[in-house]
Amino acid sequence: MSKTYLVTGANRGLGLEFARQLSARGDRVLATARDPDSATELKPYAERIDALDVTDATSVEALGEALASETIDVLINNGGVFPGQHKVEEMDFDALADAFAVNSIGPMRVVKALLGSVRRSGPGAIPGVGRIVNISTQMGSIARADGGAYAYRSSKAALNMLTKLLGQELRDEGIICVALHPGWVKTRMGGEKAPLTPEESIAGMLRVIDGLRPEQTGAFLDYKGETLPW
């Protein structure tokens, strides 16, 4: 049965590949981009493309209003930024704040705005519905932290905590919430040295999303379905 997915930041990289693979298998794709008119690669795969800036409360609220009558089976918060800041002497506090605005606060704004549409999808015990997926990274694991990338690591660690709390809050409603690590992928952010292609990463993540079980809500997983340490 076809399901409806909302993918944020879908105009390039992992978001675009999510849209491509979902469309190819017959699912309905709703997508967002900062500038929908310039998202030419995305247009063949998405039924609609709405403007969204996750750092702008008005923009997020407008998205919620535009999609208020929709049923969203799977919400994928995909957008993210990677400031450098590998040493404390390099710290740019405006960039640090921006990383939290995009990587942590932004997804929560989107969840709040679209929660009514996700609730309409049905209990999470039914395969493929009632799911909130926050794209994270193993670099947000405190247990695995090995230095550098202060802004990126800390903002993604915050996203992991927020996802854990969402899972606890929405558990009784049957909505499954997870933080998902896509692997190190050849994208503009990941670079050419990355071992995974977007096609491989997204295919793996979709298998994980499709197979999520209610008891996994609040989990931190990778694209193979393995549990990562907090």
**What is the CA angle 77-180-11, rounded to 5?**
40
CA-closest candidate to residue 202, choices 31, 21, 43, 29:
21
pLDDT tens-digit profile of 120-175?
A: 997 655 554 699 999 999 999 999 999 889 999 999 999 999 999 999 999 999 99
Helices (H) and strands (E) in the chain, counts: 6, 7
Q: How far is Cα 77 from Cα 107, in angstroms, rounded to an integer?
A: 6
Unique residue bearing structure tokens 């404390």: 88
- Looking at residue 183, its pLDDT comes to 93
Sign of CA dihedral 204, 171, 121, 41: negative
**Beta pairing partners, 180:** 135, 221
| Residue 53 CB burial class (10 angstroms; 0-12, 13-18, ≥19) | buried
| Active-site amino acid positions | 136, 152, 156
* CB-based contact 178:163 (threshold 8 Å): yes
pLDDT tens-digit profile of 183-212?
A: 988 777 667 777 889 999 999 999 999 999
pLDDT tens-digit profile of 39-92?
A: 999 999 999 999 999 999 999 999 999 999 999 999 999 989 998 778 888 889
Q: What is the pTM of this model?
A: 0.94
Element (H, E) at 51: strand 48-51
Unique residue bearing structure tokens 């606890």: 168
What b/e sequence results for 190-225 when a residue is b if at least 16 CB atoms lie within 10 Å of its CB, and e otherwise? Answer: beeeeebebebbbebbbebbeebeeebbbbbbbbeb
Domain ranges of the chain: 4-222
Mean pLDDT computed over 212-226: 97
CATH fold for domain 4-222: Rossmann fold (3.40.50)
